[in-house]
Amino acid sequence: MIAICFEVRAPADKPVASMSVSSPPSGGNANTDASESGMPAGATGTAAFSPLYQQIKALMLQSLQSGEWKPSHAIPSEQDLAARYKVSQGTVRKAIDELAAENLVVRRQGKGTFVATHAERHIQYRFLRLVPNSDSPAEEQPAQRRIIDCKRSRASAEIAKTLCLRAGDAVFQVRRVLSFAGSPTILEDLWLPATPFKGLTADRLNSYDGAMYALFETEFGVRMVRAEEKIKAVLPDAEQSNLLQIDGHTPLLSVERTAFTYNDLPMELRRGLYLTDKHFYRNTLN
């Protein structure tokens, strides 16, 4: 269930190998030669058949995480990609479809396909599910952010585990408060691996105008792609209740989020306390 560090979930890496795909346009497809390309002949169990479009998707994924295609920029057109990978347009289309479904890429008819980004996305706070009660006055949009603390420290065993580090490795630890309409509503503690976020300071966090994930993206080249949250109901301790300006008997939502970059690599642990008197956490089930 839990992703093991550096172990990519998606297959389509071994069975590709000779991905020049100089498949002759002889009628149907060409994937049959997989039986003589990557298959070790004595492969135990599953044959690990991977459709062409999955392989193209994997290649595109590499272009995304290598930085060849940068956030908010357009990727090559479907035509170009088809030529580049020597497949039909329909096949790259299906690959792009999946990338779009995972929000890694955004299609815009008539314009092109663009690398998704946390910045310039004016619906700010892509991962925040807290919305004002329906009886609230208007859209009290602009949240005030206050950085309480930003320090370098050592990862505890637990933090290290979820961030795929070793206990004692350097991490940044950030604490901040978000207020809506002047009311402190969210208290967050963040842990970030020190290496990719080298140079992070409270000042940089304060001076940046935009969501924190946008900052990570533009300043550190770290794109959060997916996240998992564990939610509980808790009571605050003295310090927490003080920061949120509430008493110790006010129940709060505890939202523990692990955010991932490409390849399901965890890059952030965030523990939030949400005050839910004027807001609620919204979720949609399919």
Contacts with DNA by CB under 7 A lie at 23, 25, 27-32, 34, 47, 49, 51-54, 75, 77-80, 87-91, 93-94, 107-113
Q: According to CB under 8 A, which one of 18, 103, 195, 242 is a site residue for a second copy? A: 103
Q: From CA 126, how far away is CA 118, in angstroms rounded?
A: 7
Helix 52-65, helix 89-101: angle, nearest 10:
60
Q: From CA 197, how far away is CA 221, in angstroms rounded?
A: 9
Contact 117, 106 (CB under 8 A): no
CB of 198 to DNA, least distance (A): 35
Per CB under 8 A, 234 contacts a second copy: yes
Per CB under 8 A, 264 contacts a second copy: no
Per CB under 8 A, 30 contacts a second copy: no
89 binds, among DNA, a second copy, none (CB under 5 to 8 A by kind): DNA
91-117 per-residue burial string, b: 16 or more CB within 10 A, e: under 16: bbbbbbebbeeeebbbeeeeeebbbbb
CB of 120 to DNA, least distance (A): 14
112 binds, among a second copy, DNA, none (CB under 5 to 8 A by kind): DNA
Q: Phi, psi at residue 259, to the nearest 5°?
A: -105, 140
Closer residue to a second copy, CB minimum distance, 147 or 183: 183
Q: From CA 231, how far away is CA 118, in angstroms rounded?
A: 23
Closer residue to a second copy, CB minimum distance, 9 or 282: 282
Q: According to CB under 8 A, which one of 231, 240, 243, 263 is a site residue for a second copy? A: 231
Instruction: Please report the DSSP string for 166-217 in residue order.
Output: -TT-EEEEEEEEEEETTEEEEEEEEEEETTTTTT--HHHHHH--S-HHHHHH
Per CB under 8 A, 232 contacts a second copy: yes
Q: Which amino acid is at 201?
A: T
Per CB under 8 A, 3 contacts a second copy: no
Residues near a second copy, by CB under 8 A: 2, 102-103, 126-127, 129, 134, 226-235, 249, 251-253, 257, 274, 276, 280-286
